Chains A and B, each alone.
Chain A
Amino acid sequence: MKHSYAKRFLLAALLIPALQYAQVITGTVVDETQQPLPGAAVYVVEQQTGTNSDMDGKFIIPVKPGELTVEVSFIGYAKLSRKVTVAVGQTLNLGSLSLKPEISKLDEIVVVGYGVQRKREVTGSMVKLDSKKINDMPTPTFEAALQGKAAGVQIVTGSGVAGSGAVVRIRGVASISASADPLYVVDGIPITQDNFLQGNSGGFNNNPLATINPNDIESIEILKDAAATSIYGSRGANGVILITTKRGKGKELKFNFSTRLGTASPTQRPQMLNSQEWLQMYKEAWANDGKVGTPTLPAGLTWEQAEATNTDWVDQTIATGFKQRYDLSAQMAKDKYNFYVGGSYDLNESYLIGNSYERLSGRINGDYRFSKQFEVGLSTSLVRGTNNRIDNAWSGGLGAAMSTALPIFPVIDTATGDYWNGAGSGNNPVGVRDNKIWRNRELRSISNMKLTYKPFKNFALNASGSLDHMTLREDQYNSEWIIGQPNQANAFRNQQKIINYNLFLTASYIQTIKEVHNLTYLIGAESQNSNTYNEFHTDDNGNALGNGLTDSSVTAPYFDSDLEDRFPINTSIIDPQSTYRFVSWFGRVNYSYKDKYLAQATLRADGSSRFGRNKRYGFFPSLSVGWIVSEESFFTSKKINYLKVKSSLGYTGNAQIPGFQYQGGYNVGGASYGGSAIRFPVRLENPNIQWENSRVFDMSVEAAFLNDRITTEIAYYNKYSSQVFLGISTPRNFGFGTYWDNVGEILNRGVELTVKSRNLVGDLTWTTEFNIANNYNELVSIGGYSEDAVSGGTNDTRTVVGKPVGTNFLVRFSHVDRENGRPVYLDKDGNQTYEWNPDDRVAVGNVLPDAVGGINNTFTYKGFDFSFLFAFVIGGDIYDSSSKRQLGPMSIDNGLWNLTPQIYDRWQQPGDDARYPRLTTETANLGSTTPWINTNLWLHDGSYLRLRNLSFGYTLPAEKVKKWKMDYMRVYVVGTNLLTFTRFPGLDPEIARDFENNADRNMSVNITYLTPPQERTYSIGVDITF
């Protein structure tokens, strides 16, 4: 029966189609942005006939009259189904049929290291985020927009400072002193990503990712397990983030214009005492200590003067910031070539007065096909990022407003009419802001050229060369008001140039054996070379102006004075410790049997200049297997339409350390003693220093239910990192300072769950995306060194064996003594004591969360769309390092701070049950002569739930915008960080402060020290295609 039907159908379809059908259905298949989709399959269910859309997305299909169902499908898009009634002889035009990107992306193409794969064939663990997910909200830089959207990827957005970088951790932290950031690869080149090129200045780390225009990004692939990352070998241990920029699409030349305008304000406004309140507290402290008379005030102020002043320094340092962004691009794809050209301007003011990040960027991407064999592709961008800097945190600005800029200090000195400078310029953040010009400017170009040669079928040779060229220039001008000397203004410039290039060659071959065995081979070789130059202006004598120029001739920064011409840059010193080279070979074999059984083997061999001959080369293999159970004939579940099990085991590495640690170093800089030259070791050689090595096991199950209505993935991983670098603050008896050695061992293991559910389909759609990832982190060994062997400068966390990396190692606070108001601590054994002794420190918390995740809901109805994303963090502690001073002793010798209103919960008289101890002017009354002591009184639960993003948009009907000669138009409003639920009593529970070095960055997220809170933004925007 079936057979004969088919026969008849074949006859009908092949022999007499045109005669039989006097009726046709026509239409145009377009994507969600109204771009035509060529090659989409159009199928009439009842008569089992179909066609493909042409280059313009148009189709015409002859049909019989009657009630019919037309289905339109295209890889990567949801199938569209339309019931139609066709009258005899009718030409039914369905107009434009817009396909929506499919939630189940099993057949989508994903970018992997040195190639692409079909998602269903991937045996590694990875997440793909498309352009929309990266651009759906304003964030300081693109990586912050990933928060809550990918399981196992923890994003801690930097503070509210414009252009600040986020801390990105993929499956926990596996490094201590070396960078634990993932490897960022843009269009094939591992880019320059060092956050410490300019150290920590002004409470800010330069963020090299800020120069990447988010709107240039087509997709981001986050590679998590060894199967995915070991092709990046020695640099894959912390995960890899592959960034692919946009390429031309669509047969017609199309323009896209989008803009977004918005505001920034802090998620929480810092509350500080006013002048009256502060003076009252100070008087109480004075009286508590049995002192008589009028308390001594700083800066020689009298009590009356102090009472007469009431400056709200927070008001003086924050205001609503404005944001604006404009993107214009053009794109087109023909048979022979395609191109994408884009220009963008983004001015992102933070709520900190005087602070903004401005990015001007241009991009040209294109491919040209000379013949069927030979293709060339070019991607190039040029970006100018300008960070208008202000002091923050410990350095001043809002940080000063929250600390040493007391409300009793005036802004203006009424005697002179100039800014008041009575307590040092640092305590007048308004004066500093107006007397300092501070600008960081980055010029960056990331470019790639790729040649593809396909001499015969299934074989391709690729040659790719990339250049990441970055000039980073910090300019600062301090007026004589800041210097405090007449005719002595200062201008200095700190400039680095990083030239980073790589070249790789790959050969790939696809082999099919007996139609069931599919093999893909890839082998390749790569080299990379990155040089960092420190550039100096030199004076008339040829000496480098390292500390800038301080004299009466300085009237402005270099960039707008004649200093640039007077003192040209003519000293460019290569920084040997930042210079590195890699030479690598790699290979990958993918095997699939009947699209059911999958296997992949990869191997990378890396050679690095950072290691000595003994340990120069490292080998990083991985093996992974997958089984698509749902393809088996025995698998008959109706509810589960897709089931895949996969597992991988492999090795990855980390080589992010300064150069020449293997070689040691001798200072021969001409130092002398008693007039004779000396030379001396500054660093001991360690010829055996080598890669950090992570053994990563991963197992996961992907499943789709109810015809892809629900898709899930659950993964377990276990990553054991050994030979972990410690930049040890060596025991002094070693006789030299920091020393790098491979002595740590760290375990990360966890479970990740991702669920996507299309709750409602049809006119009203409702989609929920949920992910949660738990991570257990344990420092297994630090080779016998003490908790204090690795200290990240300002961090207050330590390395404690058996505890997570970044453990709060503190003396325990017990309670406030009811009788005398003194703080009572616990010693090591738990006995109560008034004495604070650092020997009593114990592990009381850790900064790493137990779980992170997000839940996003999207609703669409006709042209309307509405979505909101909650991001959450469960567990982990926040150490509020500033509160030990904002709620601590009021000692004029050690510097007086303003207090927060939490001080009202303090001990005042015998019998008081108070949270905070008595006010005092003597630090000894709090149990130590050390003025500021760390205890777990300042440690808080870091869990939070945050309405990260809420947006509401409307896509105008296609017919309507057509009249305006447009294809597509969407208007929207979006708000970020609108609500936060937390028990943290401080400002904002999402904290990535300024860091001193990588160890600090690894160990001290969630430590706040006057860190400006995150920003809350409200924006409106429009996207237009024409």
Chain B
Amino acid sequence: MKKIKFLLIPALLLSAMACQDYLELEQTGDTISEENALQTQQDYEELLWSCYDVIANTYDGRMQILFDLLSDDLAAPNSNADYTEVYNRNMLFFNSTLGGVYGQPYFAIFRANSLIEALDNIPFTDPARKVSMEAEAKFIRALGHFDLVRGWGQPYGFTSNNSHPGIIYKTSTATDILARNTVGDVYDLVISDLEFAEVNLPSANGDAATLWAAKALLAKVYFQKGDYALAAQYASDVIDNGPYSFDLNSLDRFTAMPSTEAIFYTLSIDLDRRSGPFTGNYRSDGTSVPTLRASTSMYQTYGTDTTDLRSNWFIVKDAGQPNEYFGISKFNKDYFSVPVLHITDLKLMRAEAFGELGTNLSVAIQDINDIRERAYSGSSMNLPSGSSGAEIIDAARWERRIEMLGEGDRVQQLKRLGAVENLPITIRSAPWDCPGMILQFPVTERTDAFVLNQTGGCN
């Protein structure tokens, strides 16, 4: 049996290699391990900043366009099968454009959640940064989920208790297979995240989210819910107390440097031209027919009154020809910063909210008139003082449609009117709540727990 000892020789020889180090390889190059990537506070700042990078790739027109395709502002898209499906309200779950946009907010949300989960381990050189970092992450989370639920779920108010399916509200990085949260739950979570952000964000924060951004978004959320008192309260807070100014002299908020009206915005520079989807789809100053053009009704409503400076946002091409179309000039530039939350939106929101509430009507009238004086270069079209709440509401809705052209707002307002105000809204001859009026999820979303939206169903 001494011979058995020989059997141990190879085992001993190779045991030398068996140390963990031999099997512990390091990632090299552009992609490294999380452990190596996230060490200093600066590393985490760069992770947080990457969320804004994603937001810039979401609000570069892509999200806005999807919403506008569901509205009555645009004509049928030119040569874009994916957009045509959205416009036809008959979206297949293989629609890669749609799936791509849907996925964007979740990239930012995943990173925000990574950061929130890591907070206790970050070696902060500035301890106060911990809570503001968390607040930024929560703002990012709320913004993403809010637009997702508005796009992929029926609106708030569609069911009386808002128990209809919304989207998954992700609060962790776990890869659990989850069911869709109800729309009511999503709104509650959005508000809860924004309320944390509102009190913990700084008032100035470079190009990142501020407490004003959180308040402005809260205003939008409440407005969409039909909670006009809170919507007006938050809008007023930002308009009256925030460092932003309504630009009386310029209708153009899509400028290379962020507009003074912009409360939260994305950055675009000549080198990266993040606003590409806007310009790529709308630009009407070239030789080719743009993908996206104004609908005839939109043009006829807003494009023919030349005393309104905003009529210049329409360009009639091939007039009188069978192939006549109405180009939109608003985005005829190389690149620009995109205002995601801005004062014009808040003023119109506040005016309509006060109109609904029947309070502070003079403030509401002034908001409308600020908008109108800018559009008509004077007070010719101003609302008279003493206008009724209903008149204010009508004016606010009229102005909102044209002011927010191309910003993805129109369809959300129509849905609010249908769901919250119970108005008999139809959009391009289909009811506001027909199944095809919400966007379809990509097929990969489907799991045992996740039910996709119905395909089609608006005709």
Residues of A near any B CB (own CB < 8 A): 455-456, 459, 461, 503, 505-507, 509, 521, 523-527, 573-574, 576, 579-581, 583, 585, 607-609, 613, 616, 659-660, 663-671, 673-685, 729-736, 739, 741, 783-786, 788-789, 835, 837-839, 893, 928-931
B9 close to A507 (CB less than 8 A): yes
By a CB distance below 8 angstroms, the chain B residues around A835 are: 456
B46 close to A679 (CB less than 8 A): yes
> Is there a chain A Cβ closer than 8 Å to B286's Cβ?
no
> Is there a chain A Cβ closer than 8 Å to B120's Cβ?
no
If A607-B18, A735-B109 touch, whether A680 touches B11 (CB-CB below 8 Å) is no
If A583-B18, A678-B53, A735-B110 touch, whether A784 touches B447 (CB-CB below 8 Å) is yes
B13 close to A505 (CB less than 8 A): yes
By a CB distance below 8 angstroms, the chain B residues around A684 are: 173, 175
By a CB distance below 8 angstroms, the chain A residues around B168 are: 733
Expressed in whole angstroms, the Cα–Cα distance for A692 and B33 within the complex equals 24
A839 close to B26 (CB less than 8 A): no
Indicate with 1 or 0, residue by residue over B80-119, a CB within 8 angstroms of chain A CB atoms. 0100110010101110000100110011111101100000
B443 close to A838 (CB less than 8 A): yes
Q: A585-B11, A736-B110 are in contact. List 9 more A-B contacts (CB 8 A).
A: A576-B28, A580-B25, A583-B14, A583-B18, A609-B24, A664-B34, A678-B47, A684-B173, A736-B107
If A507-B6, A674-B267 touch, whether A732 touches B33 (CB-CB below 8 Å) is no
Write the chain A residue with the least CB distance to B33.
A663
By a CB distance below 8 angstroms, the chain B residues around A663 are: 27, 33-35
B84 close to A929 (CB less than 8 A): yes
Expressed in whole angstroms, the Cα–Cα distance for A579 and B106 within the complex equals 31
By a CB distance below 8 angstroms, the chain A residues around B167 are: 733
A734 close to B110 (CB less than 8 A): yes
Write the chain A residue with the least CB distance to B444.
A729
By a CB distance below 8 angstroms, the chain A residues around B111 are: 680-681, 735
Write the chain B residue with the least CB distance to A521.
B7
B33 close to A665 (CB less than 8 A): yes
Contact of A839 among B27, B50, B113, B455 (CB under 8 A): B455
Expressed in whole angstroms, the Cα–Cα distance for A776 and B144 within the complex equals 46
By a CB distance below 8 angstroms, the chain B residues around A670 are: 30
B43 close to A609 (CB less than 8 A): no
A735 close to B23 (CB less than 8 A): no
Expressed in whole angstroms, the Cα–Cα distance for A789 and B93 within the complex equals 13
Chain A interface SS verdict (over half)? mixed
A673 close to B20 (CB less than 8 A): no
Contact of B17 among A521, A527, A579, A741 (CB under 8 A): A527
A527 close to B14 (CB less than 8 A): yes
Write the chain A residue with the least CB distance to B54.
A680
By a CB distance below 8 angstroms, the chain A residues around B99 are: 732
By a CB distance below 8 angstroms, the chain B residues around A521 are: 7
- B148-182 with Cβ < 8 A to chain A: 167-168, 170, 173, 175, 177-178
Write the chain A residue with the least CB distance to B18.
A583
Expressed in whole angstroms, the Cα–Cα distance for A607 and B102 within the complex equals 40
> Is there a chain A Cβ closer than 8 Å to B207's Cβ?
yes
In the complex, how many angstroms separate the beta carbon of B112 from the nearest chain A beta carbon? 9
Write the chain B residue with the least CB distance to A676.
B49
Expressed in whole angstroms, the Cα–Cα distance for A663 and B108 within the complex equals 21
Write the chain A residue with the least CB distance to B17.
A527
In the complex, how many angstroms separate the beta carbon of B2 from the nearest chain A beta carbon? 10
> Is there a chain A Cβ closer than 8 Å to B32's Cβ?
yes
In the complex, how many angstroms separate the beta carbon of A615 from the nearest chain B beta carbon? 12
Indicate with 1 or 0, residue by residue over B422-459, a CB within 8 angstroms of chain A CB atoms. 00000000000000000000111111111010011000
By a CB distance below 8 angstroms, the chain A residues around B47 are: 678-681
Of the candidates B20, B22, B267, the one having the most CB atoms from chain A within 10 angstroms of its own CB is B22
> Is there a chain A Cβ closer than 8 Å to B52's Cβ?
yes
Expressed in whole angstroms, the Cα–Cα distance for A835 and B447 within the complex equals 25
Expressed in whole angstroms, the Cα–Cα distance for A667 and B22 within the complex equals 25
A674 close to B50 (CB less than 8 A): no
Expressed in whole angstroms, the Cα–Cα distance for A456 and B449 within the complex equals 66
A666 close to B110 (CB less than 8 A): no
Contact of A679 among B13, B37, B173, B446 (CB under 8 A): B37
B10 close to A461 (CB less than 8 A): yes
A613 close to B14 (CB less than 8 A): no
By a CB distance below 8 angstroms, the chain A residues around B84 are: 929
Closest A-B pairs by Cβ, 6 of them: A735-B110, A669-B30, A666-B37, A525-B14, A505-B10, A732-B103
B10 close to A788 (CB less than 8 A): no
Write the chain A residue with the least CB distance to B95.
A930
In the complex, how many angstroms separate the beta carbon of A607 from the nearest chain B beta carbon? 5
A525 close to B10 (CB less than 8 A): yes
Expressed in whole angstroms, the Cα–Cα distance for A503 and B24 within the complex equals 19
By a CB distance below 8 angstroms, the chain A residues around B37 are: 666, 668, 679
